[in-house]
Every structure is written in structure tokens, then in C-alpha cells.
Structure 1
């Protein structure tokens, strides 16, 4: 316990990228600061620690009353280590949110197949154990499109993601399992909407648009974000359908979707290390902080 301004602060851990990962050094500290400021509203003090320091031994994490895996950017580049770590944290009883089991299965986008089986709409998808040019060529006709997206099932932030046009060859094939989808022009025309939930309650929504000439909506590629003050009821309904299909208790969830002519489709259920866009949240992240504080009570 710490004391600040007469208040008792409870220390909780936030897992961060590996210290030797240069890709995120310039970005994640600012996100950590936003998270820390929000958590302070519920008298929680965030202690950053690299997730890669806890692959072999979970004792240090187990000493915290709560661990948040919300900044483990880059885990997909060390996926075997990530799966090993999440199994260890579960076995050691680390009080981690979201649960270590969720952090495991949500790291592979094949979870979308299981959600689709429950009736949740996702884009048409061809799943491949090892993507080939023949599969890509066949996908154009299968999806009745001239443009497809190819990406690994284990990925994040558009890592190893390619947009290909009919007749174009794939030069940077994903290693291992991959997914092929038709390019959704609505993603560029209208953007991708993210709905944020904390403790099961809707917090806020953000619309993300790619910069002109690009299809990637991430900020590192020039994507622009803007708050959505009144998201469509159909979007809320899809997000709630996704959350209802997940059995484990979630502290946080970011549900990413795109509106197509056939309705809203789920792009991803981000349950590991999504940016919460707290600067766009009307309450500055108070709902997130209160959900984390409530999880401490549940954990005791």
C-alpha cells in the first residue's frame, strides 16, 4: 500500500512490452500514463513490469492483488512464450484480468470461427494452415472481389498484413496459419468502430479512419480517431452479442466492427492489450478504474 495526499493507494501490476522490443518504446509509455491517471481515480497505483520477465516464474506477479495485461504489445512476435506464460499465470493463480485463459485463446484469431458458429457475423474468411498463391487466387472468385486481405491468425496492429489485388503476388507470406478475407471498402469509406466495455458496462465508442491511400486504421500508420457520442443500436447489439458468447469474466473488452451493406460485422474482439482510447472517454477512464477496483474485491 502507498499513501498519496492522504489517500491509501493499492499497487497493481501492468504488464508492458519486452524491454528489448524497439517497436513500441516511443508509444507505450504515453498509454501507460493515461492508464495510470485513470486508475488513480480509484486509488490504484500502476506498477509497470515487462511480461517477458514472468515467463518462467510467476511469483512476483502472484504477489500483486491484481495484474492487468493491457500493454503486452508485441506478444504475437513471441507467441510460444506468450502461451507458455499465460498457462503459467493460470496455474500459479495470478489475479490477472482479463483471465490468463482469455489472454491465451484471444491471441489467435481463429477464435473468430467459434464466435461465428454462435451466430455472430464476421467477414467471409478463408482459413489456411499455410497460405499459398493458389488459395489467394481462388479467394477472388470465392468472395467475388478484386481485392483481398491476407494476415496471420496470430498478429496485431496490422503486423504482416497485406492487401492484394487480382493478379498481384504475395511477397511476404505469413508463417503458419493465416486468414484471407475480401477487402471491405466500407472500412476505408466509413471507418472501423470500436466499442469499449469495462466490467460489462458500455463506456464509449471511437471511429477509426485510415489516412488517404492506406487501409490500415492504426495510429502508427496515420489513422485518425474520433469519438462517437451515440453509436448505432445495431452496433451495440453486436458487441453485446459477442460479450454474451464469452464465458469467462472480462474486466475489459474492445469490440471492433465495420458496417457493411449486409449489416455490422465483427472484425475482432480485443481482449488482451487493446488501446482503450481513454482520451476519448467522457469520464476519462473512471469506469475502467472502478471496474479494476471492483475486481480487487472479487479476488479476495
Structure 2
């Protein structure tokens, strides 16, 4: 089905939610969104991104729970390109996804004066590189993660007295991939991350994700606590400044921020397959569908 900009609200649409083959262990709440689409007559199918599929049968393809894409980024991007060329409207766009897939985008945002956590980039992990990072950041603890990754996969917290066995384990996990290193923000263990959700550039809802005691990972899959909040106005200003740096307005975006107790900084902006926590705000799925209708008119 070739995309036609005249397709909009009031016309029954065939929509694919792009997912992956194995969601065991993940918390998924896209059924809230699916219910709103289907309540007005739209047809929604959940399709794995690496399935054999005639994408031309759909009016729109929404990237949702493709939470294994980082293990095969090249093939994932090729699939998205194929979808775009087959006719349906891909959301978010291929261009935004390609930009967002590598966390080197943080450097571009930092250059645009978006408050970010200081970051160093390097190919692979060496003892010398970590020593330099400890000195540059004047920090006793660092976070090491791959440039391409989802959730907290292959994310490590290391201290200055890192043991040889621990370093070897990290090197084995990273396997020579490009990495990013940041000072560990200790306040995340008590104040967590604040996530601001935007649909078509408009703020929808805001949550706080706090890790369980003794952990730094905020995701529910690791025992994190999720709550709906009203955050400081500063967080909204930073989120909007981040969105203003993008090449286009995304249909959906989740902006994750952290505080060190004095200032707020961008942790990351999620434009590919963020959990959007529809269950935390009973009106958020309806706001998404309204934004979707408006977006298709562009």
C-alpha cells in the first residue's frame, strides 16, 4: 500500500506495531495503545522486525518493542529502509532512527549547549583509557556502555581499583565495540531518572524510574520503581531544547534526565523503541493516537 498523505483520522487504517521475536522478561504495555486504535476501527498487527513480511499492506508501521535491534543494527536499519521504500509511513522516520542508534549523538547535543553528562568515546575498553577517564572526570566511579545498545545491556559501573578479571570480563562483553564512558551519577540510586514523553512535539506525561536498593538500573525488569510525577520546570526546558536540536519533529520521543543534586542533565533521548508507559497515564494512549493523526497530515 503506497503511502498517501490524504490518509488521516476518520479513515480505517492498517497499522503494524514493529516488535521482536522474544519479549520474555520484558514489561510491555502497548496493548493500551492498540486498544485505542482498534476502538475506532483501525486494524493493528504486531510484527517482528525480522519477519518475512509484505510491508506494502500497511498504511503505517510504528516502531515499538524492537528491543533486540542493537544485536544486529545493520540488518535492522536495512529492514527499516525496506519498509520506508515499500510504501507505509515509518514512524519514527528512518533518518531519526539512524541518527539515534549510536549514542555519539550526545556529542552533537553537547555542542548545541544541551546540558549533558560529560562523555568520552573510545573503541574498546583498555586500562589506559579508563585511567584517563578517571582523571578527566575527577570521578571515583565510571559508567561504561556500548555506543549501540538498549536498556542496560552490557552496561558496567567500574571503580578506580578495578581488578584484572573484571576488566577482562568487560573487554569480553564489549568485544572491541565502540564505547562511551561517563562519570557515575550517584544520585541516580536515590532520585532515579526522570522521563518526559512527547507526542508530535507536545509533552504528554512524565515519570520517575528509581532503581531497587543496591542497584543502579532503573528498568522494571531489574526491579525499578515507576511513578507518575510533576518534575521541576528545568527538566521540561532541557527536554524541549533537546527536541529543538533534531532534524525533524518526531512522532514520539522520550527524554531521560538525571540530577547530581545541583543540576539536571540529559542522559539520553529515545527515538527508536522507547517504553512509553501508557499504563501510568490513562489518557496517554489517546493523546498518542491524536498526535498520530495530526502527524500524518505533515
Q: TM over 0.5, yes or no?
A: yes
- Distance change >3 Å, CA 235–CA 79, structure 1 → 2: same
Secondary structure (helix, strand or coil) at the match of 2:187 reads helix
Alignment counterpart, residue 149 of structure 1, candidates 143, 149, 154: 143
Aligned-residue offset at 1:8: 7.2
Larger mean Cα displacement after TM superposition, 216-225 or 36-45: 36-45
Secondary structure (helix, strand or coil) at the match of 2:29 reads helix
Deviations along 1:30-54, whole A, 9 cap, x unmatched?
Answer: 4232221243455433211110126
Alignment counterpart, residue 18 of structure 2, candidates 15, 18, 21: 15
Q: Give distance in 2, aligned partners of 1:26 and 1:165.
A: 29
C-alpha contact 1:66 1:296 (8 A) present in aligned 2: no
Q: Name the count of aligned residue pairs.
A: 282
C-alpha contact 2:29 2:279 (8 A) present in aligned 1: no
Q: Give distance in 2, aligned partners of 1:105 and 1:96.
A: 15
Structure 1 counterpart of 2:6: none
Q: Give distance in 1, aligned partners of 2:64 and 2:105.
A: 19
Larger mean Cα displacement after TM superposition, 210-219 or 136-145: 136-145
Q: Give distance in 1, aligned partners of 2:102 and 2:87.
A: 23
Larger mean Cα displacement after TM superposition, 212-221 or 89-98: 89-98
C-alpha contact 1:44 1:293 (8 A) present in aligned 2: no
Structure 2 counterpart of 1:186: 187
In the superposition, the TM-score normalised over structure 1's length comes to 0.88
Q: Give distance in 2, aligned partners of 1:41 and 1:234.
A: 37
Structure 1 counterpart of 2:76: 82
1:73 aligns with 2:67: yes
Secondary structure (helix, strand or coil) at the match of 1:31 reads coil
C-alpha contact 2:204 2:284 (8 A) present in aligned 1: no
Regions of 4+ moved over 4 Å: none
Q: Give distance in 2, aligned partners of 1:200 and 1:33.
A: 23
1:217 aligns with 2:218: yes
Structure 2 counterpart of 1:120: 114
In the superposition, the TM-score normalised over structure 2's length comes to 0.88
Deviations along 1:263-300, whole A, 9 cap, x unmatched?
Answer: 211111000111101111241421101112233444xx
C-alpha contact 1:38 1:284 (8 A) present in aligned 2: no
Q: Give distance in 2, aligned partners of 1:205 and 1:37.
A: 22
Q: Give distance in 1, aligned partners of 2:47 and 2:245.
A: 31
C-alpha contact 1:204 1:282 (8 A) present in aligned 2: no
Give ranges in structure 2 of 5+ residues lacking alignment: 1-9
Structure 2 counterpart of 1:100: 94
Structure 2 counterpart of 1:47: 45
Structure 2 counterpart of 1:27: 26
Q: Give distance in 1, aligned partners of 2:293 and 2:126.
A: 48
Structure 2 counterpart of 1:3: none
Q: Give distance in 1, aligned partners of 2:79 and 2:63.
A: 12
Give the RMSD, CA atoms, in angstroms.
2.0
Larger mean Cα displacement after TM superposition, 161-170 or 197-206: 161-170
C-alpha contact 2:55 2:86 (8 A) present in aligned 1: no
Aligned-residue offset at 1:76: 0.2
- Distance change >3 Å, CA 89–CA 114, structure 1 → 2: farther
Larger mean Cα displacement after TM superposition, 219-228 or 31-40: 31-40
Deviations along 1:162-204, whole A, 9 cap, x unmatched?
Answer: 0111111422232311001110011112110000011111000
Larger mean Cα displacement after TM superposition, 36-45 or 189-198: 36-45
Q: Give distance in 1, aligned partners of 2:113 and 2:102.
A: 19
Q: Give distance in 2, aligned partners of 1:159 and 1:27.
A: 13
C-alpha contact 1:251 1:292 (8 A) present in aligned 2: yes
Secondary structure (helix, strand or coil) at the match of 1:172 reads helix
